[in-house]
Structure 1
Amino acid sequence: MAVKIHGFIEGTQSEELMKLLLTLASNWGDVFDTSKLKVVHLSGAMTNVVYRITWPKNGSENEERTVLVRVYGEGSDIFFDREEEIRTFESISSHGHGPRLLGQFAEGRVEEFIHAKTLSAGDLRDPEISALIAAKMREFHNLNMPGSKNALLWPRMRKWVIEASSLCSPEQAKEFQLEILENEIDALEKELSQSDQNVAFCHNDLQYGNIMIEDETKTITLIDYEYASYNPVAYDLANHFCEMAANYHTDTPHVLDYNVYPDLEERRRFVQAYLSSTGQ
């Protein structure tokens, strides 16, 4: 089974993935012929490499079976707990949201393929699409997920600063002002943590590449839950507004253009759609 899938994944990973795909195909009653696998690299993922894999369905030449394979990016585990992400993925799926988890291998997983279009940066500014995103976000926030219900925002940022400090030289730590960052996190937590704050299960990464839409039904699906956790609802909304200032398909994807940050009317319209989506 040491078959390479068109050279995109090799060695032990390839063997594990091929065994997993063979098991899935057998469970579905498909004839799994590796020579007929089609592999397409999908752009847009930030921390992983994602592929669409298809093969003939039930031996048919006219129908195809399609799955999504996600290969984890090197070093991405620094930012989140991969085991916790998988538990979150499965729990969200059990609530009827997002794709189903079909299987795992050492460096990635196989997911149900969602037949929908990934949004572009410009789509976030479309009033109709924006209202649909707001309603879906409200649904997401209403999920009752297992585990701690405490906001993860502050300890997560402190952990990232510690990780950055361990990877930086003293000169780099000074250049990036990591010591000041620690103080800023403390000040922000003190200023922004209120007793009446609404904490709910948040996506925490609602950039356009993590939002899909089915054109005919106008159904929104949120994907990629690597950063999902309980957090202040206001943080998830504010983060989504910041994502409107991002374009990850440029030479400087990490630089946000706050000249295109949503104005007061756009933000008001989004929040109104969010609040009114449950009939209130």
Structure 2
Amino acid sequence: MGATSNVVDDKEGRLPREVKDALQLLASEWDDIVDLKALQVIPLKGAMTNEVFQIKWPTRTDDVSRKVLVRIYGEGVEVFFDRDDEIRTFEFMSMHGQGPCLLERFPNGRIEEFIHARTLSASDLRDPDISALIAAKLREFHELEMPGPKKVWLWDRLRNWLNAAKGVCPLEEAKAFCLEAFEEEICMLEKKLFGGHQRIGFCHNDLQYGNIMMDEETKSITIIDYEYASYNPVAYDIANHFCEMAADYHTETPHIMDYSKYPGLEERLRFLRVYLDSLGKEPKDTEVEQLLQDVEKYTLASHLTWGLWGIISEHVNEIDFDYKDYARQRFQQYWMRKPELLDSS
């Protein structure tokens, strides 16, 4: 999961030497910086996979600074995705004007272009105008022709993460989370959810508010952070976005999900109509209804995905976040909603 934009001043000493060296090397290419070592480090809160920092240098121009973004990869996260694949996706997106440019790499992270736009907040996702912009941008994202096979990754990812969760979980914890039941659940979901009518597209798979930026002047949307991006049913990506509306990672208890904030029927239909209409062809009511049904069912796959992610993260990640309770909530939603969503299937 990505970083969000609540910033707090910090000191340079927070960064490892290899990062400082990479930053100074990059800054040496700019002739307007007053002092290469006079950098300001601002940690961005809300990151749950990596540590993310905004870096600023004063320049010779009054009230102007150079800015970049530093991303230090989290410990043990290679279990979730292939970092080389993620870098290739990042570079592809940059070349096609879909995200920030890659400026420099170091052994455990990278330096990115700083996008002059604001990161969205939890409440922004409920704004009808902003939500419409996100829907149109997500359709554009799904239409990207990424290199490599157009293979659905959801089911393999779930099975791989389930095996990883079993590998790191103490026996009592595994029993408490009913991990042994999930292999059968994944097979059942794949059989019931994955229909031939569904469209496959390049999906972000982690479209929470902290991974969406908006230029206030142009109202253009940029989707960032592609660690989990892959080909998948687009209904799954939309379902995951709807589930993220229950989250606010800037509270005193950032792991707590409030499912009363899950979008209502009218809100979901509005998003789906904009999504389907964004290429200029008005959707039929039957098309909207089919996508709505598919999206609702794929929320179950979202709950399983991030529940397993939470269990693994509890044992491999040192970021201050209650991963275990987060996992408990996602699994609770899975078991609670499964009967109503699948009994009629």
TM-score (norm 1): 0.91
* Equivalent-residue separation in structure 1 for 2:175 and 2:31 (angstroms): 59
Distance 1:28 1:246, change over 3 A: same
Give the aligned residue type for 2:12. Answer: H
SS in structure 2 of the partner of residue 65 of structure 1:
strand
Aligned residue number for residue 205 of structure 2: 204
Map 1:154-193 to 2 at 5 A: 154-193=155-194
Displacement of 1:175:
1.4
Give a deviation string over 1:117-144, Cα, whole Å, max 9, x none: 1111111000000000001101100111
Aligned residue number for residue 49 of structure 1: 51
Aligned residue number for residue 269 of structure 2: 268
* Equivalent-residue separation in structure 2 for 1:117 and 1:63 (angstroms): 18
Map 1:1-280 to 2 at 5 A: 6-10=12-16, 14=17, 16-31=18-33, 33-57=35-59, 59-60=60-61, 62-280=63-281
Displacement of 1:61:
5.2
Structure 2 regions of 5+ residues with no counterpart? 1-10, 282-345
Structure 1 regions of 5+ residues with no counterpart? none
Give the aligned residue type for 1:7. Answer: G
Higher share of residues assigned strand: 1
Displacement of 1:72:
1.4
Cα RMSD over matched residues?
Answer: 1.7
Displacement of 1:35:
3.9
SS in structure 1 of the partner of residue 246 of structure 2:
coil
Displacement of 1:260:
1.6
TM-score (norm 2): 0.75
Displacement of 1:56:
3.4
Asked if the contact 2:24/2:36 (under 8 Å) is kept, the reply is no
Distance 1:21 1:216, change over 3 A: same
* Equivalent-residue separation in structure 2 for 1:62 and 1:129 (angstroms): 30
Asked if the contact 1:78/1:163 (under 8 Å) is kept, the reply is yes
SS in structure 1 of the partner of residue 21 of structure 2:
helix
SS in structure 1 of the partner of residue 205 of structure 2:
coil
Give the aligned residue type for 2:45. Answer: S
Displacement of 1:66:
0.8
Give a deviation string over 1:137-194, Cα, whole Å, max 9, x none: 0110011111221111110111111111110122222111111011101100011111
Asked if the contact 1:22/1:32 (under 8 Å) is kept, the reply is no
Displacement of 1:25:
2.1
Give me the identity figure in percent.
60
Which moved further from structure 2: 61-70 or 29-38? 29-38
